[in-house]
Amino acid sequence: MPEQEIFANPYWHSLLTEHAGITIGNGLARRFPADVIPFAGMKESSPTAMSALRDLLIPGESIYITGDELALVSGLEKMGELPSWQMHFNAVQLSQANGTIPNLRELGAADAPAMVALTDVAFPGFFRSRTYILGRYFGIEIDGQLIAMAGERLALPGYREISAVCTHPAHTGKGYAANLIQHLIRVQAAAGLRSILHVGQANHRAISLYERLGFTRTRPILFHSLRRY
């Protein structure tokens, strides 16, 4: 399948391929478990696919999908949308490491409560109790407190998405996010993977950081928030 088609519908293809083992649904609509991330994908934006997606949700549950025009059906309401950029790491070579990052370590199941608490400061509800199963996550601790982190969300053949980039407001401006992103790029490159990410078009500060680190904007992508009623 052409890469352009995969990147145009990344959540669907992640659930079809690298994350097929945790997918809920089949056929026209698939979703991640609710305790992992509130995202889903559809094979197409038809009324039949939207009905299949609705049937994967419980009443009152919200979920995010990507796409341009959606054929809304009874039982689903659109709550909002977030115009975003998909960005790929396209630097000719990785930047030189700035030595060992102090207090950096890989995170796991035991760190889930701290990871949720930290990400809830920046983007409440997106990071869940089992989000960590999607890939590798790394964090920086000070005095036993997790103050910055980043990890992997979507997994596509040959690619991994960098996500959950977050620094506690009391510790911003010290380069922690850049260090974590660069660390993940190296981890992914060592595994033969290329790095991608998604960012809201209005988040100019983050876009500027990502571009300085070697990412380029490759396509606009629209996130929709839907709720079953």
pLDDT digits (tens, 9 = 90+) for 135-146: 999 999 999 999
pLDDT the model gives residue 3? 86
pLDDT the model gives residue 71? 87
Length of the chain: 229
pLDDT the model gives residue 99? 56
Distance in angstroms (rounded) separating the CA atoms of residues 114 and 105: 14
Kindly report the backbone phi and psi dihedral angles of residue 51, in degrees, each rounded to the nearest multiple of 5, phi listed first.
-65, -40
DSSP-derived pairing of the beta strands 194-200 and 159-167 = parallel
Please name each of the domains of the chain with its CATH number: 3-83 (no CATH), 87-219 (3.40.630.30)
Contact 226, 38 (CB under 8 A): no
Contact 61, 34 (CB under 8 A): yes
Predicted structure pTM score: 0.94
Residues of the chain with pLDDT below 50 are: none
